[in-house]
A = this chain, B = another copy of it.
Amino acid sequence: MKSADRLQRFRRQLERIDRRILDWLQRRFHVLEDLTEYKRAANLPIFQPEREQTYRAAIRARLPAEYRDPIDAVFAAIMREARQFEERVLVRGMTRPTEGPSVGEFPFRRVVVVGLGLIGGSIVRALRSYAPRSWIAGVDRDEAARAQARPYLDEVGADGTAWLSDVDLVVLALPVRSIVTWLETYGSHVARGLVLDVGSVKTVICETGWRTVRSPAVFVGGHPMAGAETPGFAASRTDLFVDRPFFLCVPPGMEDAQALRDDLEALLLALGARPLYVTPAAHDRLVTFTSHIYQLVASALAAWVYEMALQEDLDLRQGAGPGMYSMTRLAGSSYELWRDILTMNPQAVEAFSAWVEWLHRQGPPYDWEALFRRARQVYEALYGSRGE
């Protein structure tokens, strides 16, 4: 047989097989669609990570060794796509839940999320998946954000003040300055339930929240260590917080209040995040060195590189390697957001200045061997040792 014919025969075989795979995949998504509709109507949990793991392990065990890894990887993709598909089905079919039936153990039946950007949007998506029948309203001044988030929400509004008299949870997913303003203006309107912010500075915000939100409502300062380059609801994801630390600052005197802890942990379970209880002062000190300083260095470095590239007419993009990409990723951050963070956590700019002073004392010439060796300690703390 000629080589071209042999090749053709193989290809036709593969195409026939692929048609069958596609048929079965279509049936699979069709059944999944029905199952999701049914689960939603019966108020059953949609995502069951443990069940999925057991199922995948059973499948993997049945596969012949020579094809095990590739088929297992394909199956992982099927499961991943199935999860996202279920989320879409859920949202598409969403109707206002009938009043009456309890929402099981999830303590937040009425939720208002203020701010529908990346973080607020991801909270909406995660709560919607975890507790499909909770009533969730979203507030954003921006009409486009409201329109994007609308399918995931029971109600949307530009203001939302009217809802504050009857909610279990208010999430403030706004820029830090706006969180303070919101608390000063509306904090005292929240009749009961939990008020949680997600701003990246905690001292100023907690001071305001604890002063303005009044019992039986409780203010807790929050800060998830999660993000993405692209802002906005469109970039939000159900799994943004999964396995990420989530700082929590409970009011002084309530450190041992078990009911509050239970509520907070139910909420973080829904998001998949790991709770880290801290004081506002300890939080702001820690994030100076685990978050804020990196933004300042990235901006100060990229600003200078920009000047040099202009002066010398260098095409930065042409030679950009992986190191440059990771060290300038933060350089796209909005100044307006950071201006407020820096004002509310002044030790961030102090730390930056202290670092520049320290460098200036060190060299030139710099002891690069000592710097590299100490730097590696940080790498290993974060990434674990991966050898030289």
Q: Mark A residues whose CB is within 8 Å of B.
A: 3, 6-7, 10, 13-14, 17-18, 20-22, 24-35, 38-39, 42, 44, 59, 62-64, 66-67, 69-71, 73-78, 80-82, 84-85, 225-232, 245, 247, 276, 283, 285-287, 289-291, 293-309, 312, 314-336, 338-339, 342, 349, 351-353, 355-360, 363-366, 368-383, 386-388
Return the 4 tightest CB-CB contacts between A and B, nearest first: A77-B77, A332-B379, A302-B375, A290-B319
With A308-B289, A356-B359, A369-B339 in contact, is A386–B17 under 8 Å at CB? no
Across-interface contacts of A29 in B (CB, < 8 A): 66-67, 70-71
Residue pair A330, B327 in contact (C-beta under 8 Å): yes
Residue pair A314, B285 in contact (C-beta under 8 Å): yes
Q: Which residue of B lies closest to A11 (CB)?
A: B35
Q: Which of B26, B342, B386 contacts A229 (CB 8 A)?
A: B386
With A306-B378, A327-B294, A379-B328 in contact, is A28–B35 under 8 Å at CB? no
Residue pair A319, B245 in contact (C-beta under 8 Å): yes
Interface residues of chain A: helix, strand, loop or mixed (majority): helix
Q: Which residue of B lies closest to A76 (CB)?
A: B77
Residue pair B85, A81 in contact (C-beta under 8 Å): no
Complex Cα–Cα for A32 and B13 (A) = 9
Across-interface contacts of A334 in B (CB, < 8 A): 372, 388
Complex Cα–Cα for A147 and B295 (A) = 43
Residue pair B229, A324 in contact (C-beta under 8 Å): no
Residue pair A386, B349 in contact (C-beta under 8 Å): no
Complex Cα–Cα for A157 and B304 (A) = 47
Across-interface contacts of A226 in B (CB, < 8 A): 321-322
Residue pair B372, A26 in contact (C-beta under 8 Å): no
Q: Which of B300, B335, B373, B382 contacts A373 (CB 8 A)?
A: B335
Q: Which of B7, B276, B375 contacts A300 (CB 8 A)?
A: B375
Residue pair B290, A316 in contact (C-beta under 8 Å): yes
What would 8 A/B residue contacts be, using CB atoms closer than 8 Å? A7-B44, A14-B28, A70-B84, A225-B321, A227-B322, A302-B378, A306-B377, A329-B383
Complex Cα–Cα for A286 and B368 (A) = 22
Across-interface contacts of A307 in B (CB, < 8 A): 374
Q: Which residue of B lies closest to A350 (CB)?
A: B364
With A25-B67, A29-B70, A326-B330 in contact, is A372–B335 under 8 Å at CB? yes
Residue pair B286, A314 in contact (C-beta under 8 Å): yes
Residue pair B26, A13 in contact (C-beta under 8 Å): no
Q: Tell me which of A365, A366, A375, A376 has the highest count of chain B C-beta atoms within 10 A of its own C-beta.
A: A375
Residue pair A314, B295 in contact (C-beta under 8 Å): no
Complex Cα–Cα for A103 and B102 (A) = 72
Complex Cα–Cα for A381 and B287 (A) = 29
> Distance (Å) between the CB of A278 and the closest chain B CB?
9
Q: Which residue of B lies closest to A274 (CB)?
A: B318
With A77-B74, A358-B304 in contact, is A27–B17 under 8 Å at CB? yes
With A25-B74, A303-B370 in contact, is A321–B291 under 8 Å at CB? yes
